[in-house]
Amino acid sequence: MLPRLGGCSDAVALCSLGAAVAATTPFVGVDPQHAAALAMAGTTWLGYRVLEKVSFSKAAFDSNVAISSSVKTPDLAGEAGMLIGYKVEDGRPVYVPDEDLMRHLFILGQSGVGKTVLGANLIFQQIARGGGLTFIDGKMTDEELQKIWQMCAWCGRERDLFIINPGRPEMSNTYNPLLYGDPDEIADRPISTIPQNDSNPGTDYYRKAAHQGIVTLVSAMKKAGLAYNFIDFAVMLMNSKALEELERKLMEVAPNSDEARAFSLFVDQFRYSAKPGADATIDMKRLKEVFGGIGQRMYLLGTGKFGEVLNSYTPDLNLFEAIMNNKIIYVQLPTMGKNEAAMNFAKMFISDFRTSISWLQDLPEENKLQIPHLFFMDEAGGYVSMNMTRPFEQARSARVILCPAAQTMANFKAISEEFAEMVIGNTWTKLIFKVGTQASAEEMAEVAGMHIVNVRQVAEARNKGTSSQLLRLDPAASESEGLSETVTYKEQEENRVSADQLKALGKGECVMLYGGDQVHHLKIPMLKFDSQEAKKFGKPRVHRFRKRAVKGADFFKNAEKYLSRKMS
């Protein structure tokens, strides 16, 4: 079937061909070489249009849907970038340059359709080119850990890998998200575990009061020269004697400091005397009300297996240093067995990462990352919060690539409509796999936009008549029959990709929305090491680091001093 011709390019080609034919007549005085050039130009373009139809009639990959990819594709123009996939129509590779990757990616699709496969491809490319990576795994499977280990081993980067798994301390490096940063930055991390509700003045008041309280405690411990952890905070927020001991230590080290005055003023608001003339004691019930359950959250993260990973005064992982040194950070969340603690931990980790982004922004240009850092968040809807909105706007200047993946848009809308809008509005590249809900499919079809298409309309009219004349014996001579057909074309607007097409995509198949003006139908390759090669890599190993001597608060270690009843 020949292509239907139309548009400026086809019109110019036809005119060139017509002009060349006219130039061959004796009535037009045109140089034969010029006429040949016109003929060649016209026939070359028309030949391409015919071959284009033939070559694209058989797709490079099988698909249940017919989606026309944009002719224009992302241009690396000599820049570094990453392979996303291959066009279904013709098998051509599609890359995205780093400059646009730093405008962030968004991956959407139901479980088991290829999101993790695409994530593995991006992660492997990042490891292979020597870049830094942070991967939060919301599913936490041994298979994913094995894949990350094999990628690192294949690239010779096993010692660059940090594994953070609060559910399995024996397979985890240590990490303390409360240790690094100024008091305000540190306070943001536990506060991020409290749901935001700006419409409720009471909730907002207690949130701010808890933030100020944590700032005061952190300032006091830093001034006293004490390292601290989750369980130290939990003890202080549950026991008045621990608070009084910190006050004594602070007065010994820096009695006239601003930190000492601020701490005393903070504690004094909770002191009361049970009887006139009696010594004042701290009302812990009021203190707990102000902190709104922060103490309980700290206790959950500071005890059991979580405590073995998070309670180090000299942790293996300093997040900012790891990012600056292009390390590979794999965070496994034990969401199935310990969902509440896992989600609180993930929110604190993301808050720590946000602090790192702000520090990266402040670096002089010559000290910034040469290879952008990739932050891949699988099943992100379960643990990201509103404090992630700012990084989507500003992480590009820190040379950080944000890549959240979710199953439905409802995962982000559960956080807030504003957050979902921020994610869509601040991701340059969107990769849509098979979508399981009509709402998400329609929303993504709307994001893909509309385009003008020519619609062919055929109208057919038939008429038939007979008449009988006087004295004529042959009625057929008076019969009449007519047929007319009218073909018209009109332009109309329709979705570039329909919701039904998004729901009909196969496994490993996605639609890439790029920059707001390009649509590409892609097949995603699966990365897999053969069994012999994988056997050489062995099982994942955790690399430990030498500890330096520090002075810690040790409130939990010395808990017997704070108990009203002595332990036997």
Q: What is the pLDDT along the chain (568 residues), one digit of tens a residue?
A: 445 555 555 666 566 656 655 665 555 555 656 655 655 665 665 555 544 443 444 567 888 888 888 888 888 877 899 999 999 988 899 999 999 999 999 999 998 888 989 999 999 999 999 999 999 998 767 888 999 999 999 999 999 999 999 989 999 999 999 999 999 999 999 988 887 666 665 567 778 888 999 999 999 999 999 999 999 998 888 888 889 899 999 999 999 999 999 999 999 988 887 777 667 788 888 888 888 788 888 888 999 999 999 999 999 999 999 999 999 999 998 877 688 888 889 999 999 999 999 999 999 999 999 999 999 999 888 888 888 888 988 899 999 999 999 999 998 888 888 889 989 999 999 999 999 899 999 999 998 887 655 556 666 666 666 655 545 555 555 566 766 667 666 666 777 899 999 999 999 999 999 988 899 999 999 988 888 888 889 999 998 877 778 888 888 887 777 665 554 4
Describe the strand order of the beta sheet including 105-108 as a list of residue ranges: 93-97, 81-87, 518-523, 509-514, 429-432, 105-108, 400-406, 373-377, 133-137, 328-332, 161-164
Please tell me the predicted confidence (pLDDT) of residue 39. Answer: 58
Q: What is the DSSP string of 506-548?
A: -TTEEEEEETTTEEEEEEPPPP---HHHHHHH-S--PPP-PPP
Q: In the prediction, which pLDDT does 438 show?
A: 92
Q: Name the CA radius of gyration of the chain, rounded.
A: 34
Q: How many CB atoms lie within 10 A of CB 264?
A: 15
pLDDT at 563: 63
Neighbours of 345 (CB within 10 A): 28
pLDDT in the model for residue 313: 93
Other beta carbons within 10 Å of 300: 19
State the distance between the two ends of the chain, measured CA to CA, in whole angstroms.
92
**What are 510's strand-pairing partners?**
522
Under a CB-based contact definition with an 8 Å cutoff, are residues 466 and 426 in contact?
Answer: no
Is the four-CA dihedral 485, 486, 487, 490 of positive or negative sign?
negative
Quick one: pLDDT at residue 177? 94
Sign of CA pseudo-dihedral 17, 22, 26, 27: negative
Strands 509-514 and 480-495 come out as unpaired
Contact between 334 and 140 under an 8 Å Cβ cutoff? The reply is yes
Task: Quote the pLDDT of residue 452.
Answer: 57
Tokens of 548: 């330096």
